């Protein structure tokens, strides 16, 4: 198991908000990879930080594509209450399918 000392770095503290400026999560709409790269130029970067940066770049890019090509066009016209309702119905159906698959596997 990793200890805090093995994980901790200035980059990680920025990511977790313990050091300013806090980095925006890659799944957030406001994510900007340039900010992450600037921080890596300022701080000493560990090999774990490099992995975090590459992962954030990939995840951020995929989330942006997902928002622009799929979520925006399909759900952009829905109100918040309709989106919440759709999510609730989808979750209920998922729960039913999970139960059926577990019962079918027995």
My answer on whether 18 and 38 are in the same domain is: yes
pTM reported for the whole predicted model: 0.63
My answer on whether 62 and 85 are in the same domain is: no
The three-class DSSP label of residue 83 is helix
What confidence score (pLDDT) does residue 5 get? 72
Give the pLDDT of the chain (106 residues) as one tens digit per residue: 777 777 788 888 988 899 998 999 998 989 999 998 888 888 888 888 999 999 999 999 999 999 899 888 887 788 889 888 988 988 888 888 888 887 765 5
My answer on whether 31 and 82 are in the same domain is: no
My answer on whether 61 and 90 are in the same domain is: no
Handedness of CA 72, 74, 79, 81 (dihedral sign): negative
Cβ neighbours of residue 36 under 8 Å, at least 6 residues apart? 23, 53, 56, 57
Enclosing domain of residue 99 = 77-106
My answer on whether 5 and 26 are in the same domain is: yes
My answer on whether 62 and 15 are in the same domain is: yes
My answer on whether 67 and 98 are in the same domain is: no
If we measure between CA atoms, which residue out of 76, 11, 88, 73 comes closest to residue 42? Answer: 11
Q: Give the position of tokens 């340039």.
A: 34
Q: What is the CA radius of gyration of the chain?
A: 19
What confidence score (pLDDT) does residue 104 get? 67
What confidence score (pLDDT) does residue 105 get? 58
Inter-CA distances, 39 with 9, 29, 50, 87, Å: 12, 19, 12, 36
Number of domains in the chain: 2
My answer on whether 9 and 25 are in the same domain is: yes
My answer on whether 2 and 53 are in the same domain is: yes
My answer on whether 2 and 31 are in the same domain is: yes
What confidence score (pLDDT) does residue 106 get? 58
């Amino acid at each position: 198991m990793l200890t805090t000392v093995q994980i901790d770095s200035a980059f990680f503290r920025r990511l977790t908000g313990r050091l300013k400026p806090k980095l925006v999560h890659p799944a957030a709409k406001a994510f900007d990879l340039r900010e992450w790269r600037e921080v890596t130029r300022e701080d000493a970067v560990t090999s774990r930080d490099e992995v975090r940066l590459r992962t954030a770049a990939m995840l951020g890019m995929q989330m942006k594509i997902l928002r622009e090509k799929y979520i925006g066009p399909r759900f952009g016209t829905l109100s918040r209450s309709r989106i919440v309702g759709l999510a609730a119905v989808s979750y209920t159906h998922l729960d039913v399918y999970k139960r059926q698959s577990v019962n079918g596997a027995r």
